[in-house]
Amino acid sequence: MSRICQITGKRAMVGNNVSHANNKTKRRFEINLLEKKFYLPETEENITLKVSAHGLRIINRVGIEEAVAIGKRNGLIKK
């Protein structure tokens, strides 16, 4: 599975390393991705999600049920 947040859809960006002599080489800006387990009280099961730090803040703000619904609606969670 690729490194994509299952709540926000964030993924890695591409850019350049620029040296003091202005030489440019390609690089990737990876996201702060964490693999976390969450408990869903309505179905009484645990799910494991790959979420970014920003995705964790969204889960804290709206709740895990609403966040999972958002991820499924956007096609980021395949369950």
User: Does any domain span residue 57?
Assistant: yes
User: Does any domain span residue 56?
Assistant: yes
User: Does any domain span residue 78?
Assistant: no
- Report how many domains make up the chain: 1
What's the whole-number average pLDDT of the chain?
94
User: Does any domain span residue 25?
Assistant: yes
79, pLDDT greater than 90: no
Q: What does the pLDDT average to over 50-75?
A: 95
Return d(Cα 11, Cα 51) in angstroms, integer: 11
Using an 8 Å Cβ cutoff, are 33 and 50 in contact?
A: yes
CATH number at 17 reads: 2.30.170.40
Q: How confident is the model at residue 72 (pLDDT cuts 50, 70, 90)?
A: very high
User: Does any domain span residue 33?
Assistant: yes
User: Does any domain span residue 35?
Assistant: yes
Q: What is the pTM of this model?
A: 0.83
User: Does any domain span residue 46?
Assistant: yes
